[in-house]
Amino acid sequence: MITRKYTPEEALNEIRLRMVYDSSKTLNENLESVSAVGATNNPKYYKTRVEQLMEFPDNELFKLNFGTPTVNTEQAATTIYNAVAGLGTTKEPIMHVIDKAFKTLADSVAIIKTYQSPEREDETLWDALNGEWFDGGSMEKLVSKVAGQLKTWCESDAKHKKAPLCQVLTDNELQYGKY
């Protein structure tokens, strides 16, 4: 008998499939429900949500009360804008803002939403950081930090878990939408 070697991720999905298998559904439907179970444990889920917020700051999913920001959001947004404006990018101010101003989810969401304004040519934070080639990985660092905050917030309270923002979506639903 040949025994297949599983990666830890494959083994976990195999166990999940066996636990929730519904014989009234097709194999593909069962596989989809298994991937949905694991979606909120996948950091990609939260990173995708943060990227959506950065691209579309007026996103309905983020019209929740995350708390009161504890930092000057306008100053943080202006510091990032000044660092990326013109030719070249000044990396240090961006990293300083990411380290010091993006402390909580309330701070992070408020800064992301504040960034898009007429004073900054209605550019989103996504546009500002995504277009910089030599920013020292600030976009990835920011997305990872805020994704971790969002995951913690979603898992911290039963009421938060019911928010549409924290609802489980499969990778395909994240990519193409839920129909």
Q: What is the mean pLDDT of the chain?
A: 82
Give whole-number Cα distances, 164 to 30, 103, 143, 161, in Å. Answer: 23, 23, 20, 8
Please give the pLDDT value at position 163: 86
Q: Which of 124, 157, 161 is nearest to 142 (CA)?
A: 124
pTM for the full model? Answer: 0.72
Question: Mean per-residue pLDDT for 104-126?
Answer: 91
pLDDT tens track for 122-175: 889 888 888 766 556 788 889 999 999 998 998 888 888 888 888 767 777 777
30 neighbors 20 (Cβ within 8 angstroms): yes
Distance of CA 23 to the CA centre of its chain: 34
What secondary structure letter does DSSP report for 64? S
Q: Which of 56, 72, 49, 61 is nearest to 149 (CA)?
A: 49
